[in-house]
Amino acid sequence: MVLLEADKITKRFGGLVANDSISFEVKNGELLGLIGPNGAGKTTLFNCISGAHQIDSGRILFDGKDITKLNSYEVARLGLARTFQIYVASGDLNVLENIMVGCFMRTSSTAKAKSMAEAVLKELELTDIAKSMMNELPVAVQKRVTMATALGTSPKLLLLDEVAAGLNPSEIENIMTVIRYIHEKMGITVVLIEHVMEMVMKLSQRVIVLDYGKKIAEGDPSSVVRHPDVIRAYLGERYAREYAATRPDSGA
């Protein structure tokens, strides 16, 4: 079943076409990677899908409903949540309270929101830092909490915008484990923007590539990484050769 459908999405900022007639589908239960160079239009696409930007033309369907003209909070209520590339930790809220913010999307009861937040903390093994202040935590832990806050909204689809940015290899492995758990154990569909290619290749079932606002490739990770346009625009010949050499079918 198709959970999200983007039909010829176009978004302009003055004379700049940030998203140029982009079309794709996300199936229910899928983990989709979205890659491309800086400025390719990836975050703008997330903003359009989540209701932060109104598109200039095209149509967006989510779970069978037309969400093209809905605001962010209306989209979130339907079950589409996202994280942000740049997150500013609040010094006024602890971890539990941050997650409760997301839970208030589903309830007006403080007691119920707290109960829901505690359940999310348990799912992501964050219970031991529930009372920690966000701005006192390492960046890698803050990123896990932002994912937990999004999960507090009880989403069907989770959009993750560069959650591995600024992390070291060990922290990236940990965040990958969390994403796999969200996808496989919690049953949430995920679309992932990421520049850490090892992470994209290991996690994604399918990959879409943007360049200068256009979709230039789509397919399984192995085929996309060999696509001439993707190599030219983003990966480079060296990465493509190194990736091919690590594949079981490479003959190496």
Query: What digits encode the pLDDT tens for the residues 105-149?
Result: 999 999 999 999 999 999 999 999 999 998 889 999 999 999 999
Domains in the chain, start-ordered, CATH in brackets?
2-87+155-246 (3.40.50.300)
CA angle, 99 then 100 then 101, to 5° = 90
More confident residue, 240 or 19: 19
Q: Please state, as a whole number, how many other Cβ atoms lie within 10 Å of the Cβ of residue 165.
A: 15
Compute the distance between CA of residue 107 and CA of residue 98 in angstroms, rounded to an integer: 15
Residue 14, Ramachandran bin (φ over 0: left; ψ between -120 and 50: alpha; else beta)? left
Q: What is the pTM of this model?
A: 0.91
Could you tell me if 55 and 47 are in contact, meaning their C-beta atoms sit under 8 angstroms apart? no
Question: pLDDT by residue (tens digit) across 142-179?
Answer: 999 999 999 999 999 999 999 999 899 999 999 999 99
Give the dihedral sign, CA 231/25/221/204.
positive
